[in-house]
Structures are given as C-alpha cells and as structure tokens.
Amino acid sequence: MSKAILMLEDGTCFEGLSAGYEGETFGEIVFNTSMMGYQEILTDPSYKGQIVNMTYTQIGNYGYNIDDAESEKPQAEGFVMKEMSKISSNFRSEGTLAEYFKKHKIIAIEGIDTRMLTRHIRNNGAQKSMISTTDFNKKTLLEKVKASRSIVGLDLAKEVTTKKEYVWDKTHGMKVMQIMEHEDKYLKIMENNKKLKVVAFDCGIKYNILRIFADLNCEVTVVPASTSAARILELKPDGIFISNGPGDPQGVPYVAQTINNLLGKKPIFGICFGHQFLALGLGGKTYKMKFGHRGANHPVMDMQTKKIDITVQNHGFAVDAESFKKCKYKVNITHLNLNDKTVEGLEAPELKAYSVQYHPEASAGPHDAKHVFKKFVESMSK
C-alpha cells in the first residue's frame, strides 16, 4: 500500500496509507461518531465539501451494496479511517470498501490515530484540509490547503441538487421503510385518503426521505433548489418539504427567500438544512458551529412532552434561538440538543410550518423520531 498524508489548515499533519483512489482531495475535516452506516455517510449529499473522519476504529467489514446508497453516487470529498477491512462479510455485499473507493474515485486514508484527530477537531474546530497520495511535501501541502475554498458562504446546494423536476418512484429505492406498521390511525389515513402531493426542495435530498414519503401514500415531486414559489404553487401540493443538504444556508439565500414567499400558503416541513432554511425564511439567523454534530447517538428533547429521542445528526451550522425575538411570526422552539442545548426543532403554528435539525429518516432509535413524518401527513390531511 502506498503512502498518504492528511494535512489540516493549522499545519497539523497525519501520515498514513492510501485506502482508495490515488490523487488529492480537499474539504472541511469533520468527524462522525457512528459505528456503522459508512456507505450512507459517503453517499449523503450533506457531506459535499467535507472530508469525513470516522471515530470508530474498524470500517468496511460488511462491504458495500447499491441498496444502501442515499444518492446516486458518493458525495463526501474524502474518507479517513483507523483501519479499513480488507474483506467484506455480509450476504448483501457486492464488494469490498476498497473496491468501492476505487470504482467511484474516492480518495481515502487509513492507519492514522482517528481519535486523536477527533480530539484535535473538537479542541480547534472544523477547518480546511486535504488528503494527498501523490505530494508528500508538507510545505506545499499546507499552501494548497490554505488556498482551497471554505464552505462558509458557499452555495453547495447547486452542486448536489437535481437538474430538473421529477416524480419519485418508490421502485428507485431498495425497500420501503414500514414506519407506519401496526398503527391503525395512520394506516387508515393512508388507505382511505387520496395520495397526498408533496413538493420537495432538493437541496441534497436523501433517498430514505423519499422512501418514507412513498410509504405514507405521498406522491413526491422533487424540484431543483432554485425553483420559484410560483412554480411550487403551480404544482398544487398538499405540503412543501425542504430537504437536507450541505454547508452554509446563508450561502443559498434564494431558497430562504422562496420559503418566505410560501409561508402560510401550504404546510411546510424541513429537515436539517431545511430546518435552517425555514428559520431564515421566518426571519431568524444561523451560525457556524465549532465542530458540528455528526453521528448516530445524539439525545434530543421534545420540549412539550419532555421525551428524549436518540437521533442521527449531520450539520455544521445551527439556528440562533435568540434571533426569533424580533420575528413578526410566533416561533416556538420545539426540540433541544441535550449535549449543548442547540436548537433541534422549531414551529410557526399559525403558518403550519415546522422543522427538525436532526435526521428522523436515518432511524437511530430506530423509530424514535418517526412522529415528525406523521405530523406532516396529518397537517396535509386536514
């Protein structure tokens, strides 16, 4: 195996081994605390512009398969591991992780102390970085990193959004997630009512969100992030969904403006990036976090019921709760992260608009957060 170097913007350097495609790649270095789900992470469009460091020590033991992808191709700029499995042991596996990296030209590094790297990110914050398997001159590598783009203020949504409208066909997905099983009230809504029409802003939408909507008897039209409010209403939706996505929401002002133009006209539901866009559309603000939340083990409290959901998270920006004090609409903070008290959910009741910062479709609980989809279906049904 050949040599590889991970260089951070502050000059911190890690030497390891190349675990994927040969070359150089740039992105903001972040860490994810999940023990599994590496393929979902790699293909999540929210990781566009980022190099992902996995804190768990062994990655790749169950290989890869096409059914677990969250988009049509890997989106992360690079991957960092302590140790990559050389074999894949799973009846669904279609090959090893190394084969997957090379097939999709993903540059990866293994053999470094990923927990030390995680501690460094926690102490010093997420920052620009690069992986190189071709240039090992630390001085030139540092110059390249400093000259690379920052995700702050950058419109990454335009790099991952769909180029044209399409109606989601659930056969595109692997198998539909039966989140409504054994719950008669909602099964009745699905069986007796016509299909509910959802228009989904694709800011980097994940397939499992679309699978769940299909399972809930929704017909989903996915539209580019730049779609106008007039076009959205022309499609005559029962509800509007704002998807997850990568980077800084303030770098994508046109989505927030469109949401502002749609407030009060249809029920609106946002997840992650969509949560931040709803906040901006309501007149709130967002800010960059020191190292963000990424993993499958974040406790979130519902402020009304005081129940705790174990959630999947993937975001480096957050909503400023104080910014709603001067908002012309009544905005309630509905959920809080118990690790750092950041905003995890909000609602504007008079506008039938609400959102969550975490990823309910990612099944961390595994069913802790399914109620947020039910709420949207109920709102549209009424």
Q: What confidence tens digit (pLDDT) does each residue in 41-95 have?
A: 999 999 999 999 999 999 999 999 999 999 999 999 999 999 999 999 999 999 9
pLDDT tens, residue by residue, 278-328: 999 999 999 999 999 999 889 999 999 999 999 999 999 999 999 999 888
Instruction: Say what the pLDDT of residue 179 is.
Output: 39
* Residue 214, amino acid: A
Q: In the chain, how long is the greatest CA-to-CA distance?
A: 66
Q: What ranges make up the beta strands (E) of the chain?
A: 3-8, 13-18, 24-32, 50-54, 58-59, 78-80, 83-84, 107-110, 127-132, 166-167, 196-202, 218-224, 239-242, 268-271, 285-302, 308-320, 332-337, 343-348, 353-356
Integer Cα distance of 226 and 360 in angstroms = 25
Q: What whole-number percentage of the chain has pLDDT above 70?
A: 93
Mean pLDDT score across all residues of the chain = 92
Which residues are known to be catalytic?
272, 359, 361
Q: pLDDT value at position 170? A: 58
User: What is the set of domains in the chain, with CATH numbers?
Assistant: 3-147 (3.50.30.20), 157-381 (3.40.50.880)
Nearest CA-CA partner of 247 in 341, 162, 159, 140: 159
* pLDDT beyond 80 at 194: no
Rg of the chain in Å (alpha carbons): 21
Is residue 2's pLDDT more than 90? yes
pLDDT in tens, 21-34: 999 999 999 999 99
